[in-house]
């Protein structure tokens, strides 16, 4: 099968489409003929050598496609089913991928829309679970217009929280459409948030990693009321919890997202799609940071 791989660290030019042996599912897993695979910031961090030291490496943690092989003990799924989920070995950007956790593709979505869901939905759900976001409180989401941020906004609204979300002025209408009250990021953020919530907020989630953790701590009242998902060094500096999948991923998030999508209570836009062979261009687009929504590779 064809798969994305790199054998040295560097820019997008190190990415190659190579022939690799077909994978096969283990117990409880399924293999899919990939139709779409999500692209995430972690992909270019890995490619730059900022995460994993081993070489060569494949890429891709989320995909959607058609089941073509079942592992031992895989239940509730059949060959030919349309599913989306997580790649067991970080090799979803390929013609075939093994999924370790999966769910049916929502009927209203195509493969690209389904492939955009897993990473953002899991990260947002994990963060909200760790923060203890429930109804009745006010949550501030820093970086509300990105994939993880917009997922967090919508899922927090579903839980009954009031949400204030930071975003650039061009994205305020979008953030408002998700159910949040938008405020602009940058100098004066604290005053703008307090104009909406004079006594501050109950909890804060930093998705953007834009150096505002001190302000978020002040607005929430204590470091333990703030969670960061991308600013590890800042979290350490300000005594804020940092969320990573090392302590356990919120894989259960996939099981209920289809119902929310079907009910019109959750959406995650696909910003751009690229053929698998143009993965380098997808990385360039993502690193420029000029797209709102997910980048997705199309296969087949």
pLDDT of residue 251: 86
Strand ranges, E, within 1-106: 2-6, 16-19, 30-39, 57-58, 62-70, 82-87, 96-104
Edge-to-edge order in the sheet of strand 203-206: 181-183, 162-166, 138-142, 203-206, 226-228, 241-242
CB atoms within 10 A of CB 255: 12
E strand or H helix at 273, and its extent? strand 270-275
Domain boundaries, the chain: 2-116+269-298, 121-247
Q: CB-based contacts of 85: which residues, under 8 Å, 6+ apart?
A: 62, 63, 64, 99, 100, 101, 102, 103, 118, 254
For residue 52, the model assigns a pLDDT of 83
Residue 227 CB contacts under 8 Å (≥ 6 apart), including other chains? 127, 130, 131, 203, 204, 205, 206, 240, 241, 242, 243
pLDDT at 136: 85
Mean pLDDT by 10 residues, the chain (300 residues): 97 97 97 97 91 92 98 96 94 98 96 97 96 93 94 98 96 97 95 97 94 96 96 92 80 92 95 97 88 89
For position 246, what pLDDT does the model report? 66
The answer to whether the CB of 254 falls within 8 A of the CB of 62 is no
Maximum Cα–Cα distance across the chain: 59
Backbone angles phi, psi at 192, to 5 degrees: -70, -40
Backbone angles phi, psi at 107, to 5 degrees: -55, -30
246: region left, alpha or beta (phi > 0 left; psi from -120 to 50 alpha): alpha
- How distant, in Å, are the alpha carbons of 32, 165, 202, 213 from that of 87? 10, 31, 35, 32
Nearest Cα to Cα of residue 294 among 268, 274, 266, 275? 268
The pLDDT assigned to 51 comes to 83
CATH 3.90.180.10 matches 2-116+269-298: yes
Residue 8: how many CB atoms within 10 A of its CB? 9
Would you state the pLDDT for residue 7? 97
Q: Is the pTM of this model over 0.85?
A: yes
Q: Which CATH number fits domain 121-247: 1.20.120.80, 3.40.1190.20, 2.40.50.140, 3.40.50.720?
A: 3.40.50.720
Which residues, including other chains, have CB under 8 Å from residue 40's CB and lie 6 or more apart?
Answer: 61, 62, 119
Tell me what pLDDT residue 244 has: 79
User: Which of 37, 11, 23 has the alpha carbon at shortest distance from 277?
Assistant: 37
Strand order across the beta sheet in which 2-6 lies = 16-19, 2-6, 57-58
DSSP helix/strand/coil, 79: coil
The residue among 206, 231, 232, 207 whose CA lies nearest residue 217 is 206
Q: Identify the DSSP state of 276.
A: G
What secondary structure letter does DSSP report for 13?
A: G
Nearest to 40 by CA among 128, 189, 151, 200: 151
């Amino acid at each position: 099968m064809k798969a994305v791989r790199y054998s040295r660290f560097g820019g997008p030019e190190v990415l190659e489409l190579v022939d690799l042996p077909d994978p096969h599912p283990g117990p409880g897993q399924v293999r899919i003929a990939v139709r779409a695979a999500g692209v995430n910031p972690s992909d270019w961090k890995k490619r730059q050598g900022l995460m994993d030291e081993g070489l060569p490496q494949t890429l891709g943690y989320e995909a959607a496609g058609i089941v073509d092989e079942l592992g031992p003990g895989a239940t509730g799924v059949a060959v030919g089913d349309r599913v989306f989920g997580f790649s067991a070995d970080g090799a979803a950007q390929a013609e075939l991928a093994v999924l370790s956790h999966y769910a049916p593709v929502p009927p209203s979505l195509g493969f690209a829309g389904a492939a955009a869901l897993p990473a953002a939905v899991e990260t947002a759900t994990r963060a909200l679970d760790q923060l203890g976001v429930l109804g009745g409180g006010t949550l501030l989401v820093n970086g509300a217009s990105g994939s993880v941020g917009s997922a967090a906004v919508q899922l927090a609204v579903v839980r009954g929280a009031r949400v204030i979300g930071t975003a650039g002025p061009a994205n305020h209408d979008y953030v408002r459409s998700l159910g949040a009250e938008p405020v602009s990021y940058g100098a004066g953020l604290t005053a703008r948030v307090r104009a909406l919530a004079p006594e501050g907020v109950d909890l804060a989630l930093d998705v953007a990693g834009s150096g505002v953790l001190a302000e978020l701590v002040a607005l929430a009242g204590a470091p333990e009321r703030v969670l960061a998902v991308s600013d590890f060094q800042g979290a350490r500096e300000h005594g804020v919890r940092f969320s990573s999948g090392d302590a356990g991923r919120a894989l259960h998030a996939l099981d209920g997202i289809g119902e929310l999508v079907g009910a019109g209570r959750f959406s995650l836009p696909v910003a751009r799609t690229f053929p698998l062979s143009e993965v380098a261009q997808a990385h360039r687009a993502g690193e420029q940071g000029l797209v709102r929504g997910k980048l997705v590779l199309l296969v087949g």
